[in-house]
Structure 1
Amino acid sequence: MNKFVCVFALSASLLGGCATIAGDKTQLVPISSTPNDATVLIIDEKGNEIFKGLTPTSVPLQKSDGSYFGKKNYTVEITKEGYKKQIIPITASANGWYVGGNFIFGGLIGWLIVDPFNGGMYTLSPEQVTSTLGEEIAHNNKATDGGVSIVLLQDVPHQLRSQMKKVN
């Protein structure tokens, strides 16, 4: 019996990676914005649309594509009419269970064979997306008729800067 327990414990430590055992393949990412009811579009690293909805929401995202060291990365676009579009990257990186757990328990098999195929070795960051949407530049229709629009230089598109007139 004692020999069986030792063989079982040794097999479990050699055949499993710590991140695979302790981690999940997906991560729930809460997304919110100010103001609410903004459109959320999540696109993966291959350009595939993963999710489209409104804030606030929570979306389960895959951490790996199932290939060897195939971590997933995403781009979150938050838009609302009258506000500037926000683009937030979500990136995957190795978590503590992969790094430390395999150092102590899993060994090379966990580091190089088991965990690299499983999303459990990754953590998506940021863990939650919170966006405060800034208002777009106010457009004054009179500006095209000789009126004046006052905006910050950083908010003026480059193609319009040649039309600007300095005011003392």
Structure 2
Amino acid sequence: MLKKITLVAAIAGLGLVSGCASILSDSNYPVTINSNPAGANFVVVNEAGFDVHTGVTPDTITLSASDGFFSSASYVVKFQMAGFEEQSFQLRAGMDGWYIGNILFGGLIGMLIVDPATGAMWKLPESANVSLAPVTAATGLETLSIASVHQLTDEAKAQLIPLN
């Protein structure tokens, strides 16, 4: 009988000092970084402005979902590729569904201390996907005319600068 009481007390004690999200989730998540077209350089910048990861798409990196006690992480992923406009993607951690399980299983200790301290109350999206737009030149003109040097006046020819 004493063994059964000890076992029940141990299980109850573990339930009081653990959190649902801490048990069933994680605080670091793999995030797949993709671009269309592939092969873009990317930099992941945290809220403090520090580069936390650089790479080339496609790539899978691991990021922390927490930025401190009761604070979710937020990142900006900056993409660059020759011939394409630079683009950014906001990556924000949201509430992990298992954190709500503390109401039923983890109790106040799990909800107010364990999961916020471990960062398991937050979850990051699985991927960051962008479609890069090609760089286009704008002339401000509606038409473009191509002329031969032989079509220029002598005055216009005198203003030309040889490039060789």
Give the TM-score band, short-chain normalised: 0.7 to 0.9
1:20 aligns with 2:22: yes
How far residue 94 of structure 1 moved from its aligned partner, in angstroms, is: 1.4
Could you list the per-position Cα deviations for residues 9-48 of structure 1 after superposition, in whole angstroms to 9, with x for gaps in the alignment?
Answer: 1101100011111111210000111111101110001111
Decide whether the 8 Å contact of 1:35 with 1:132 is kept in 2: yes
Paired position in structure 2 for 1:115: 115
How far residue 70 of structure 1 moved from its aligned partner, in angstroms, is: 2.8
Paired position in structure 1 for 2:128: 129
Structure 1 portions without partners, runs of 5+ = 151-168
Structure 2 portions without partners, runs of 5+ = 144-164
The one-letter code sitting in structure 1 at the alignment partner of 2:35 is S
Give the total of aligned pairs.
141
Could you list the per-position Cα deviations for residues 31-77 of structure 1 after superposition, in whole angstroms to 9, with x for gaps in the alignment?
Answer: 11111110111000111100111101001001123x32132110011
Output the TM-score relative to the length of structure 1.
0.78
Q: Which has the larger radius of gyration?
A: 2
RMSD over aligned Cα atoms: 1.6
Paired position in structure 2 for 1:73: 74
Decide whether the 8 Å contact of 2:69 with 2:119 is kept in 1: no
Q: How many angstroms apart in 2 are the aligned matches of 1:131 and 1:76? A: 10
Give the ranges of 4+ consecutive aligned residues of structure 1 lying more than 3 Å apart after TM superposition.
Answer: none
**Paired residues for 1:1-168 under 5 Å:** 1-65=3-67, 67-99=68-100, 101-125=101-125, 127-139=126-138, 143=139, 148=141
Could you list the per-position Cα deviations for residues 81-132 of structure 1 after superposition, in whole angstroms to 9, with x for gaps in the alignment?
Answer: 1112221111112111101x1011011111111111112111113x211111
